[in-house]
Structure 1
Amino acid sequence: MTNNKNLTWHDYTITKKQRRNQNGHKSFILWFTGLSGSGKSTLANATAKALFTREIRNYVLDGDNIRFGLNKNLGFSEEDRKENIRRIGEVSKLFVDSGQIVLTAFISPFQKDKNQVRQLVEQKEFVEVYVKCPLAECEKGDPKGLYQKARNGKIKNFTGIDSLYEEPINPELVIETNRYSVEECVVQVITYLEKAQLI
């Protein structure tokens, strides 16, 4: 909550329930977390396409893309990473309120930060998807060459090299992208959402 006493919360005329009813489906956050190069963005976008073909309204928030605009003033220090996730959590909450599914693809290395996002929304409105891939595999398939730059000291505070990635403690889903094709991974996500009666 803000400390500014000149601000007043304004309730919306249209409720989240009404928006969901109009859209014909539930709304929630699908939070894809994992190392750089693990396949988060690829899986999030492929899942979004699968949902879209079912006429389920959704939007993808991608870590790199967000840093071009909303979070362009943030670096990669631990404090900036926390603020990065805090802002994304608040934006994601707005998408949930709008009646849509929001898919977020962020490394989000710290468990505490993800827990804070989870607490912003109601039960069953936050689905954590751990996109699990061994560091060596992520480095092998590094299209941006970021790991090599980090190894050479050209990038500081790079997750998995000189900055910690805390494996999720109890995610709703663990997807091993080094073992399955993108299509198979999407099926795992969709199957979970169906069984959880989220779609």
Structure 2
Amino acid sequence: MLVWITGVSGAGKTYLANKLVKKLQNKSILAVHFDGDELRNCFKSESPQDYKKTKRLDIARKYARLGKLVSDQGHLVLFSTISLFNEIQDWNRNNNPKYIEIFLNVPKQKIINRDQKQLISRHFKKSRNNIVGMDVTAETPINPDFVYQDIKPEDEDYLTNFIICRYEEKINENGMGLYKFSKSVFEKT
């Protein structure tokens, strides 16, 4: 199963993914988390050219295929990545039967105020460009499963429970009992 957490830089994608992984672990469910920034660092993708739109799309395609590869091996995969391309969102939905898309649509002013990585301030000083949502147009997801402007603890709990239900459907497809999800309880069918 693939959970794709997307939004512009500073939206809280990594924060949310880390919270979800920890909550899943507390319920004895191991999840693999791939973070876009960590993957760029791992593969040494730090050339200014790597941040242009065409290169971003190429990298997003690789992330999507990696997510599918690991998910197809039976793992619960969370991806926190900008990757705001409709082509990627469509590919993920068409190629991953158990796909959940979470879009963090944080207001631009809140992103500017946060500026955790100093990307926005460097952008305004003209020392950094190719920032999605600033000078690179973001393709807003067409049909995300969840959209949040801000994540609250109860949202984290709700998403964790939803992910567990979808995941258990996947691992119980052999007829051992499916679980139906409701906002506050699990009901065995």
| TM-score normalised by the chain length of structure 2 | 0.81
TM-fit CA distance, 1:118: 2.6
Larger deviation, residues 88-97 vs 43-52: 88-97
For each residue in 1:25-60, what CA deviation from the matched residue of structure 2 results, as whole angstroms up to 9, or x when unmatched? xxx111001111111000011001111111112111
Q: How big is the alpha-carbon RMSD for the aligned residues of Structure 1 and Structure 2?
A: 1.8
TM alignment of 1:90-169, pairs within 5 A: 90-121=65-96, 123=97, 125-169=98-142
Query: Is contact 1:43-1:185 (8 Å) kept?
Result: no
Deviation, structure 1 residue 141: 1.0
The 2-side partners of 1:154 and 1:49 are apart by 36
**Alpha-carbon deviation of 1:89?**
1.0
Structure 1 runs of 4+ aligned residues shifted over 4 Å read none
- Aligned counterpart in structure 2 of residue 86 of structure 1, from 54, 57, 61: 61
Tell me the secondary structure at the aligned position of residue 67 of structure 1. helix
Greater share of residues in helix: 2
The alignment's TM-score, normalised by the length of structure 1, stands at: 0.77
Q: 1:151·1:161 contact (CA, 8 Å) conserved in 2? A: no
- Structure 1 residues 131 and 82: alpha-carbon distance in aligned structure 2, compared to 1, 3 A threshold: same
Q: Deviations over 1:92-135 (max 9, x none)?
A: 112112211111111112111221233332x2x21100112101
**1:62–1:197 Cα change, 3 Å:** closer
In structure 2, the residue corresponding to 1:198 is in which secondary structure? Answer: helix
Unaligned runs of 5+ in 2: 169-189
CA contact (8 A) 2:107 2:149 kept: no
Return the letter of the residue paired with 1:185.
D
**Corresponding residue of 2:9:** 36
- Name stretches of at least 5 consecutive residues in structure 1 with no aligned partner: 1-27
CA contact (8 A) 2:93 2:99 kept: yes
Letter in 1 for 2:57: K
2:64/2:88 contact within 8 Å kept: no
